[in-house]
Amino acid sequence: MQTAFIKTPLGIAKIIGDEKGISVISVSDEGAISTAIPAILQESVSQLNDYFEGKRKDFNFKLNPSGSEFQQKVWIGLLEIPFGKTMSYLELSKKLGDVKAIRAVASANGKNPLWIVVPCHRVIGTDGSLTGYAAGLWRKKWLLEHENPNTQGSLF
C-alpha cells in the first residue's frame, strides 16, 4: 500500500492505494503534505485536484474499498447519485430495494472510506437538511455548494 497527503480547500486529504485500486481517501485538519506522490496514486491525486479546481465532475480511477457486501452495495448506490444532485437516505434505501433499511444505509454511508469519490456528501435528510457527515457538516455544505451549478464559481 502506498500513501500520499495532498492539500485541498477542505484540509489535508490522505490517499491510500495499490495496484488493485484506491482503498481510502480521508480528510483531516492537519498533516504533512507529501513532497513526492507514488506513481500508483498520481492519477487519483490529479483527478482530485481537478475536482477541487472545478474541472472534473466524476472520477475514473480504480477503486478498492474494504467493506461488507451490504456496505459495498450502498457505496455502489452512492456512485449513481449524479454530480450536482442530492438524494435522501429514504430515497437511497428505496433505490436499494428496502425502505426499512434506512438506518443500515445511513450507517454504511457513514463508513464510506472514499471521501468525495464515493459521494456520501450527496445524501441529505428527507426534509432537505444536512445530516451527519463524518468529515464535518461544514465540509458537506462546501462540497454541495461546489457541485451546485447555481453557485459554481462563487467559491474561488
**Which residues form the catalytic set?**
120
Alpha-carbon distance of 62 to 82, in angstroms, equals: 19
Burial class from Cβ neighbours inside 10 Å (0-12, 13-18, 19+) for residue 136 reads middle
DSSP code, position 126? T
Return the beta strands (E) in 9-140 as ranges. Answer: 11-18, 21-28, 87-88, 123-124
